[in-house]
Structure formats: structure tokens, C-alpha cells
Amino acid sequence: MCGRMALTLPPAAMAQIFEAAPANTLPEGPNYNICPTNDVAVITGGPDQPRQMEAMRWGLIPAWYKKPNDGPLLINARAETVLEKPAFRSAVHDRRVLVVASGFYEWTKDAIGGRDPWYITRRDGAPLAFAGLWQGWRTPDTGETMRTVAALTVAANTPMQAIHHRMPVVIERADIGLWLGENGKGAAPLMRAAADDVLQWHRVDRAVNSNRASGPELIEPFQQD
């Protein structure tokens, strides 16, 4: 699962890393506490579409919703069932994107039920690229189209199971063109757990448990008093 993210670089710098042209509207950054319904940084592309980085609302809104809260908040999509779900099955064929971040958060519980946050990054220090699906949703009042996105998740690999039973699908640099459709078809095998040595994590302060918290201290290793 993936319920919070951090983007520690300016979005324009992230666009350069992924060789994408920055759109006129990019998410604000750095942002150390990206929450559902916030804008996230997304890379789009395709066989006839130059790679671009733009902002999308985190939380896919199916086309049939009359308003954004007409149903569940779809921040994640299970890769195992994505082809069966009406909200995702067309997107997985035609609207695949990358959700990019510096890291993401997950939680465990202590002996009395307190929520302990962990900050998860790549071991090699590179940005993370999550497999994502997007959907345009037309607002009834203005007729404008809002672009919304969900991140794909799979069963956690062995190390990650110590923190959570699910994890986001991490797309490796060599597979980006295939996931975006730039290099033809056959992206389904990419919907798998990352290798056991790809990710690392450390405890951070419970301050991040609040969706109002901000600042680089949120990702610093937790220091026990």
C-alpha cells in the first residue's frame, strides 16, 4: 500500500531526471508530506506522445462519479485485480503513468496500538517511479477535466512484509519506456514486487502522522529520547 509520499527535489529537477518536459502546472515542491487528494508528480508518455511531467490529483475518480466523494477514495489499485475492476481496466491498457517521489511512508503499530511511521526510499538513492493509472473526470459545474491518478500495489516482498503486507509497484529505469507504452506492448509482467534489495527504510517521528505536518525534519531518522 502507499498512503503518503515525499518529494524532496523541486519538481522541475525531477522532470529532468526522468527526461520529461515539465508542464506549465507542476505540483509544488519540495513536499515532505504528500497526502491523498493532493497533487502528485506524474510522468506521462506513449508511442506518439513526448514524455511530460505534470500534476495530477492523487485519488482516481471514475468517470461515472457525480462528485469526487461519490464512492471510495481510490488512491491505490491492486495489480492482481486491476483488469477486473471497471474503475481501472481501461486505464491499465491506455492510461499508464509513473507517479514519481523521493520516498513514501508506511506504518506499524507498537505494543499499545500507537502508529509508528517509516520512511522508505531506494537503496541507490535514485527517485522512485511507481506504476500508476490515470483517469480524467469532468467537473459538473465548470465542465473542466480533472486528471486523477492511482498507484498500483502488489503483495509485499519478503523484507517489506516486516512493515506492511502490500507495497507499490516500483518501475525500474530500464522499464520506464515499456510501462509508458513508448516501447510497445507487454507491460503486464512489470506489475510485480520490487526485488528484495531495492528498498530501504528507517523510523521517523510521529509528527508525520498529521496530514498538516510539513518540513524536511519529517524524513529524518527518529531519535529515541
Annotated active-site positions, please? 2, 106
* Rounded Cα–Cα distance for residues 225 and 222 (Å): 9
Residue type, 99: V
**Shortest CA distance to 57 belongs to which of 166, 132, 153?**
132
Which grid cell sits at 37?
487528494
Report in angstroms the alpha-carbon separations of 190 from 11, 57, 112, 130, 167. 25, 24, 38, 11, 14
Helical spans, DSSP H, in 76-201: 91-94, 176-180
> Residue 58 pairs with which residues in a beta bridge?
149
**Shortest CA distance to 99 belongs to which of 33, 205, 18?**
18
